[in-house]
Amino acid sequence: MTTEHIFNGYSLFDDIDDPILRNTNRSKTMMNIFKAHAKGSDLTENGFKLLHGYFGSVPIDERATVYAGFVGALYREGIEVENSQFGVTS
C-alpha cells in the first residue's frame, strides 16, 4: 500500500491496491470535477485547470484507463471530448 495523495482536495486513491477500483474512482472524481465546474457542456477556466491538474497527477501508466472511464461517463451524459484535450491517444 502506498501513501495517500491528494490533488487540491481530491483524492488520487493511491491507497487502493486494486487498479480497477482505483482507476474507476479516479474517473468518477474527474466527472465530479467536471460537473461541479461546468456550465452546460462547457467547462469553466478553473474547472479546466482542476481537471487537467488532477489528470496530470495520475501516474502516466494509468492515465489511459482513467481517461477512458472519464470519457465514457461524459458520453453517457451526451458530452463529447476530443482526445487532444488531454494529450491521450487511443
Listing DSSP states for 38-83 in one string gives EETTEEPHHHHHHHHHHHHHS-GGGHHHHHHHHHHHHHHTT----G
pLDDT value of residue 81: 73
Q: How far apart, in whole angstroms, are the C-alpha atoms of residue 74 and residue 30?
A: 10
Q: Is residue 50 part of a domain?
A: yes
- pTM here? 0.85
Tens of pLDDT, residues 20-77: 999 999 999 999 999 999 887 788 999 999 999 999 999 999 999 999 999 999 999 8
Q: Is residue 39 part of a domain?
A: yes
Q: Is residue 45 part of a domain?
A: yes
Q: Is residue 90 part of a domain?
A: no
CA-closest candidate to residue 33, choices 65, 62, 8:
8
Q: Is residue 77 part of a domain?
A: yes
Percent of the chain with pLDDT over 70: 86
Q: Is residue 1 part of a domain?
A: no
